[in-house]
Structure 1
C-alpha cells in the first residue's frame, strides 16, 4: 500500500514552469537519516523518510543514473554521474572527496568490506579502483573488447552497463561484452569466462555456494564457480535478459523481457521453478523481501512479488492514489528496508514509499 509520494520537479526559468525530473537511480533509505534520491538533473537529494521534505541537495555535473552506495561504517555516501564525476558525501551533504575521469558511469559503485576502496565500471570498457578517502585512482583495468567494436559500431563504446561485484575473498568480477573477468585487489587478471552472448545485467554472487549467476541477452543464464572461473550449468529463458538477478536463501531468480522468470537452486544446480507474469522485466533488478520472497518491477509499471518456494503470486503494487496528472508507472528497481518499508521511483519523477500489513513469518536466512 502506498504510504507517501513525492514528485521531483525542476523549475525552468526559461519556460516559467515546473518540469518532472526523471529518476533512474533506485531510492536508498538510511534508517533514521532519510532517503537518497538522485535525478537526471544531477542533484543528489536527501529526503526525509516520509518523503515530505528535502533536508539537503548536492549537484553533480550531469545526469545520475547509478544508484548511490551507502558506506554505513563511515556514515558516508558515494555517487557517480554519466560525466564520470564521483563524489563522497557525509550524511549532512558535506563533500569529503571528488574525482572526475570523464568516463560515463552507468551502474552502481561497489566497495570492499572495510569501505576503504571503491570499484566502478565506465563506458569505453574500463574498471576503476579508487581510494574512498581521497578518490585517488589506484589502478585501471581494460575490459574485453566486444565483437562489434571491430566493426566501428556507433554503440561500441557504450559498454559495460553491468556493475562490478566482489567475492567473499575480495576478487573483483566485471562483466563486459560476452565475458566475465576476474581481478585481484591489485588489478591483476586471474581468469575469464566466455559467455554464450553479451551481458547487460550485473551478475549475482552467492557466497555460501561460491557460485555466481550471469544472465545473457540471448536468454541463456550461466551459473559459474567464481573461485575457479568455471561454468557449471546453463539454463535458457528464451527471451532477452537485461534485468539483474536477485538472491534468496541459495536460490537465484532472473527474468526476461517476455515476462518469463526462472528460479535456480544454486546448491543443487537445478531449475527450481519457472513462471510467466505476462509483462517483461526491463533494466533494473530482482530483489527480495525480509521474508525471502522475490520482488521486481515489470514493464506494466507495477511491482510484483512471487513466492520464493514455488513462484506463486503473492501481491502486485498499485500507485493510483488520485493525484492530478499522476503517472503511476514504476521503473528500474525497488529498495526494501529492514523496517518493512519499500521505496520505488519512476522516469516521470515520482517517488513512492509503501507499507505492508504485518504478518507472522519465519524469515529466510540472508545469504549473499
Structure 2
C-alpha cells in the first residue's frame, strides 16, 4: 500500500510520475527561472478583457505536462513549457480546491465550487462525474488503503467517494462553528481546511473548533475540541503517529492520530491560517507575521525558527524533491528554506518586462522531480519555472 499523503499540498497528491519519463537531477538549492508563461483572459462581446483568476494548485504529470483549473471552470492540460494545450474541458463553476492525482489509474480529479467532482484521464475523457450538492473549496485527500476520496465541504459536511467510480459512499454532518447558532455570516463556509490521511487509514478533518477523525466509511472515531477555529489544514506525521493542527490562536497542537489525545503544544505568538507541512521528521508552520517555526517530529520541540518565508494567507508549505521546504510568501514570490536549519535558499522573481503584468503569485506551487515547478496568480498568470540541471548533458 502506498504511503498516504501527509499534508495539504503533499506532492503525493499532486504529482503523477509516468514510468517512462526521464528524471534528470536538478539543483534544488538554486533559484529557478521562469521558462514558460500563459495569461488567462476572458474577452466579452464588447471586446473587454478580464483576467481569469487561478486559485487552485495544479497537477503535474512528469514527462507530459501539467493540468491547471481556473476560475471560469476551465481545465487545461498543457505541455511542460505551457506552449501548447493538449485538451480542455469546462466545469459548471470555478475551481478553488487543488487538483488531486490518482497515480495508479493515471487520473486527475477536479472539484468545482458547485460541488461537482469530475475525474479525467490523461486524454481529457471523463471517467466519472459526481454531484455532491454542497460547495467544495477544501482540497480532497485519498485514503490509499480503502481507495476513498475524502472531501470536506462547506455547510459542515464530510463526503466519501469511491475513487474508482465516483460513487458516494457516505455523506455526513460534521461539527459546525460556534457562531452558526448565532447568525454567523460566514458560518456556512466551513470546513475550510483540507482533510489529511493518517497511517491508520483514517482521515482527520478540521471543522468548526474541532479536530475530527473519521473511518473510511464515515464513522466518527474521535473528536478533539480545540476551543477556537481552525483554517490551516492538519499535517499527519506518519513516523510518530501524530497529527499536528494549528488553530487561529497560534498554537500548534500535537495529537495522537489513533485517539485524539493531546501529546503537546507550542504557541507561535501569531495567527495561523496557512497550512503546515512535514519533511523527513521536520514539521514547519508559518504565521500571519511571516515567521516560520520548525519542530522536531519525535521530540515535538522547536528545532529552528526563521524570520520570514511563511506561506501567503490560506496557501501552504510544500516540499521540494530534495526535502527542503517552499511556499508562496506574502510578497507573492516562492521562497525556499533549508529543511535542516531554516536557512534561506532562494526566492523567485516574476519580473519579465511585460506590460500590465502583476508579478505576485497567489497559490501553493507544485514541483515535479523532473525540474519543473508551476504556480499561478489571481490575475490569470500561469508560470512554469525550471530548475538548473546538475549535469551538462541535462541542459
TM-score band w.r.t. shorter chain: over 0.9
Map of 1:143 onto structure 2:
174
Map of 1:160 onto structure 2:
191
- The 8 Å contact of residues 202 and 215 in structure 2, kept in 1 or not, is answered as yes
| Structure 1 position 319 matched with structure 2 position 350 | yes
Q: Structure 1, residues 6-44: CA drift from partner, whole Å, max 9, x if none?
A: 11222222x313321100001221012221111000111
User: How far 1:317 sits from its partner (Å)?
Assistant: 0.6
Map of 2:40 onto structure 1:
8
User: How far 1:327 sits from its partner (Å)?
Assistant: 1.1
**Alpha-carbon distance between aligned partners in 2 of 1:6 and 1:318, rounded to the nearest angstrom:** 16
Q: Structure 1, residues 183-242: CA drift from partner, whole Å, max 9, x if none?
A: 112221111112142111110112111111111111111111212211111111211111
Q: Structure 1, residues 247-302: CA drift from partner, whole Å, max 9, x if none?
A: 11111111011111110111111100112218763111101112211111112111
User: How far 1:334 sits from its partner (Å)?
Assistant: 0.8
SS in structure 2 of the partner of residue 56 of structure 1: strand
**Alpha-carbon distance between aligned partners in 2 of 1:348 and 1:290, rounded to the nearest angstrom:** 28
**Alpha-carbon distance between aligned partners in 2 of 1:353 and 1:347, rounded to the nearest angstrom:** 16
Gaps of 5+ in 2: 1-32
User: How far 1:115 sits from its partner (Å)?
Assistant: 7.6
Map of 2:97 onto structure 1:
66
SS in structure 1 of the partner of residue 114 of structure 2: coil
SS in structure 1 of the partner of residue 179 of structure 2: helix
| Structure 1 position 127 matched with structure 2 position 158 | yes
**Bigger mean CA deviation after superposition, 193-202 or 123-132:** 193-202
Matches within 5 A, 1:30-179: 30-113=61-144, 116-179=147-210
What TM-score, normalized by structure 2, do the two folds share? Answer: 0.87
- The 8 Å contact of residues 282 and 332 in structure 1, kept in 2 or not, is answered as no
SS in structure 2 of the partner of residue 285 of structure 1: coil
After superposition, the Cα gap between the structure-2 partners of 1:164 and 1:279, relative to the gap in structure 1 and judged at 3 Å, is closer
Map of 2:16 onto structure 1:
none
**Alpha-carbon distance between aligned partners in 2 of 1:233 and 1:291, rounded to the nearest angstrom:** 29
SS in structure 2 of the partner of residue 150 of structure 1: helix
**Alpha-carbon distance between aligned partners in 2 of 1:281 and 1:291, rounded to the nearest angstrom:** 22
Map of 1:334 onto structure 2:
365
SS in structure 2 of the partner of residue 244 of structure 1: coil
Map of 1:189 onto structure 2:
220
Map of 2:234 onto structure 1:
203
**Alpha-carbon distance between aligned partners in 2 of 1:11 and 1:345, rounded to the nearest angstrom:** 20
**Alpha-carbon distance between aligned partners in 1 of 2:71 and 2:132, rounded to the nearest angstrom:** 19
Q: Structure 1, residues 313-353: CA drift from partner, whole Å, max 9, x if none?
A: 11111000112211110112010111122111111111111
Moved over 6 A (4+): none
Among candidates 285, 291, 297, match of residue 322 of structure 2: 291
**Alpha-carbon distance between aligned partners in 2 of 1:187 and 1:102, rounded to the nearest angstrom:** 17
**Alpha-carbon distance between aligned partners in 1 of 2:202 and 2:68, rounded to the nearest angstrom:** 30
Map of 2:25 onto structure 1:
none
Among candidates 366, 373, 380, match of residue 349 of structure 1: 380
After superposition, the Cα gap between the structure-2 partners of 1:279 and 1:114, relative to the gap in structure 1 and judged at 3 Å, is closer
**Alpha-carbon distance between aligned partners in 1 of 2:58 and 2:209, rounded to the nearest angstrom:** 30
- The 8 Å contact of residues 260 and 280 in structure 1, kept in 2 or not, is answered as no
**Alpha-carbon distance between aligned partners in 2 of 1:260 and 1:129, rounded to the nearest angstrom:** 35
Q: Which structure has more strand as a fraction of its residues?
A: 1
